[in-house]
């Protein structure tokens, strides 16, 4: 039987992978080669660490192994003699020292943020930049990325392959980034961090509702970005959004991991320290005078967090914020949220009309969240038989076990209630 790493060591490897890749990319500028070398180092760690123990400096161990794999690869490829000379012989002495320091654990500089900017390569389309960074840095699977983009997994796999080939054909793929480069790539980096956080906060599949390691890493990198760009309002807005949203995490599941919707959560379990921090960061961002989509979404999250209960939520203001958000991001998911807010203000019938208009969009027409929202509004409108049908259809379309269980349980309870109303007990 092959020994396996425990969960803690697996989490450590997941956390270190982008840092090791960033360290290699900064020196060797070879995306394919560095990525392959890091993957081989991770496999070596998974095989050796269970029996030999985790090294005192796991990052240095991984960098050393990956560098050796990369060097071996270069030496074995006779068609790359020139590259071997460039890598081995022509790297400036100070960069050789820097790489050695990384391996020795002397250089504690975080490479992750640099890697986000590197992967947002100008030779790629914006969508491919986001997808590639989610895969390489965020560690999301191709399926998870496909669901974030509302496209088939095969389509996303082809997009990722093309992105890697494009970078490979670009030659010197990763020159040193200038402040102008960072400014141009910042919107894509923000979107990547937002999508990584979203996948961590509500996993698109699996047995757990959320993945704390993924959302926590997005928050960590967002904090690094705020330190780098403290006066950028959208950078602050994104961090505020993450904090104000993540503050509710502890109340989102019951003792057995079951999903608890927002209107039923025990709000005293929300993290008030995190809420206060998020509000403070949001106010600072808003004071800069340039409003953007992440600040708007953070303001919506703040309104939810400030309400003592669901009934006290300022849905009128939330609806107006969603209408403003659509000017920046006219996406089907934003329109879905707007329809729910509209239903809270004007009633379920108005929300259902908005959902009918949204259902013609092929990007979301078969998405389980559209069916779940329709089921909820049908239930509020008293159309229980139709609500049950859509709850069940939504359950069939999701691959998230907690969401599926919640939808099926809701349908069963509504069905029992409907059956009881039709057949009152005899006396």
Top pLDDT among 97 and 298 is at 298
Q: Please, which pLDDT band fits residue 175 given cuts at 50, 70 and 90?
A: low
Tokens of 324: 């403003």
pLDDT of residue 329: 94
Model pLDDT, residue 347: 97
For residue 185, pLDDT over 80 is answered with yes
Average pLDDT, the chain: 85
Cα–Cα nearest to 353, from 340, 368, 362, 366: 340
Looking at the predicted structure, is the pLDDT value of residue 204 above 60?
yes
The pLDDT confidence band at residue 98, using thresholds 50, 70 and 90, is: very low
Specify the 3-state DSSP secondary structure of 206: strand
DSSP letters of 283-329?
Answer: HHHHTTS---HHHHHHHHHHHHHH-SSGGG--HHHHHHHHHHHHHH-
Lowest mean pLDDT among 226-235, 243-252, 412-421: 412-421
**Rounded-to-integer distance, Cα 35 and Cα 30, Å:** 8
* Residue 253: strand pairing partners: 259
Comparing 164 with 255, which gets the higher pLDDT? 255
Check: CB of residue 206 under 8 Å from CB of residue 141: no
pLDDT of residue 176 exceeding 50: yes
Question: What letter does residue 405 receive in the DSSP assignment?
Answer: H
Note the pLDDT of residue 136: 76
Six-digit token pair at 110? 């975080």
Q: For 35-59, how does the pLDDT look when each residue is reduced to its tens digit (9 = 90+)?
A: 888 888 888 888 888 888 888 888 8
Residue with tokens 């006066």, as numbered in its chain: 231
More confident residue, 362 or 176: 362
Q: What is the pLDDT of residue 105?
A: 46
Q: Is the pLDDT of residue 228 over 70?
A: yes
DSSP state letter for 276: H
Confidence tier at 377 by pLDDT (50, 70, 90): very high
CA 140 to chain centroid, in Å, comes to: 8
pLDDT at residue 348, as a whole number = 97
pLDDT above 80 (res 206): yes
Record the pTM: 0.79
**pLDDT at position 421:** 63
Q: What pLDDT does 86 receive?
A: 47
Give me the mean pLDDT over the 79-96 stretch.
46
Mean pLDDT calculated for residue range 362-378 = 96
Alpha helices, H only, 109-178? 112-119, 126-136, 142-149, 153-169
> Who has greater pLDDT, 182 or 194?
194
Highest mean pLDDT among 6-20, 75-89, 389-403: 389-403
Whether the pLDDT of residue 409 is over 60: the answer is: yes
Which of 71-80, 152-161, 403-412: highest mean pLDDT? 403-412
Q: Say whether pLDDT at 22 is over 50.
A: yes
Question: In this predicted model, what pLDDT tens digit does every residue of 99-155 receive, in sequence order?
Answer: 444 454 434 445 678 778 877 877 888 888 888 888 877 777 888 888 888 888 899
Q: How far apart are the first and last CA of the chain?
A: 64
For residue 5, the model assigns a pLDDT of: 62
pLDDT band at 426 (very low <50, low <70, confident <90, very high): low
What share of the chain in percent tops pLDDT 70? 85
Note the pLDDT tens digit of each residue in 276-318: 999 999 999 999 888 999 999 999 999 999 999 989 999 999 9
pLDDT, position 77: 55
Q: Is the confidence at residue 90, as pLDDT, over 50?
A: no
Residue written as tokens 């090294």? 55
Residue 88 has pLDDT above 90, yes or no: no
| Residue 18: strand, helix, or coil | helix
- Whether residue 378 is predicted with pLDDT greater than 90 in this model: the reply is yes
Q: Which of 3, 56, 12 is nearest to 20 (CA)?
A: 12
pLDDT of residue 238: 98
Evaluate if residue 85 carries a pLDDT over 60. Answer: no
Q: In Å, how far are 115, 279, 406 from 87, measured between CA atoms?
A: 19, 48, 55
């Amino acid at each position: 039987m092959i020994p396996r790493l425990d969960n803690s060591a697996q989490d450590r490897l997941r956390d270190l992978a982008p840092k090791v890749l960033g360290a290699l990319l900064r020196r060797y500028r070879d995306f394919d080669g560095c990525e392959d070398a890091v993957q081989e180092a991770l496999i070596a760690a998974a095989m050796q660490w269970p029996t030999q123990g985790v090294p005192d400096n796991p990052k240095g161990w991984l960098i050393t192994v990956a560098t050796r794999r990369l060097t071996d690869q270069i030496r074995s490829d006779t068609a790359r003699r020139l590259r071997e000379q460039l890598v081995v012989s022509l790297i400036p002495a100070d960069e050789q020292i820097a790489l050695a320091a990384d391996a020795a654990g002397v250089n504690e500089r975080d490479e992750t943020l640099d890697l986000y900017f590197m992967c947002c390569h100008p030779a790629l389309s914006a969508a491919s930049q986001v997808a590639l960074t989610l895969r390489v840095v965020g560690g999301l699977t191709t399926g998870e990325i496909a669901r974030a983009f509302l496209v088939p997994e095969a389509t996303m796999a082809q997009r990722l392959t093309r992105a890697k080939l494009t970078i490979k054909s670009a030659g010197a793929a990763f020159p040193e980034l200038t402040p102008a480069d960072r400014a141009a790539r910042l919107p894509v980096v923000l979107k990547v961090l937002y999508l990584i956080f979203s996948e961590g906060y509500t996993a698109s599949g699996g047995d757990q509702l959320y993945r704390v390691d993924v959302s926590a890493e997005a928050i960590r990198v967002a904090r690094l970005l705020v330190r780098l760009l403290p006066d950028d309002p959208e950078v602050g807005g994104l961090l505020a959004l993450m904090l104000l949203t993540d503050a509710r995490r502890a109340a989102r599941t019951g003792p057995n991991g079951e999903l608890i919707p927002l209107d039923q959560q025990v709000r005293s379990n929300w993290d008030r320290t995190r809420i206060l921090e998020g509000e403070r960061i949001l106010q600072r961002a808003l004071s800069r005078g340039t409003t953007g989509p992440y600040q708007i979404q953070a303001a919506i999250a703040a309104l939810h967090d400030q309400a003592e209960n669901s009934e006290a939520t300022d849905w009128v203001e939330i609806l107006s914020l969603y209408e403003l958000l659509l000017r920046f991001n006219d996406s089907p998911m934003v329109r879905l949220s707007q329809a729910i807010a509209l239903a809270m203000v004007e009633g379920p019938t108005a929300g259902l009309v908005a959902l009918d208009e949204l259902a013609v969009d092929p990007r979301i027409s078969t998405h389980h969240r559209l069916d779940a929202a329709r089921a909820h509004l049908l239930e509020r409108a008293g159309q229980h038989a139709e609500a049950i049908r859509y709850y069940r259809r939504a359950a069939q379309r999701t691959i998230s076990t907690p969401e599926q269980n919640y939808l099926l349980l809701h349908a069963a309870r509504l069905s029992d209630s409907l059956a009881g109303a039709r057949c009152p007990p005899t006396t």
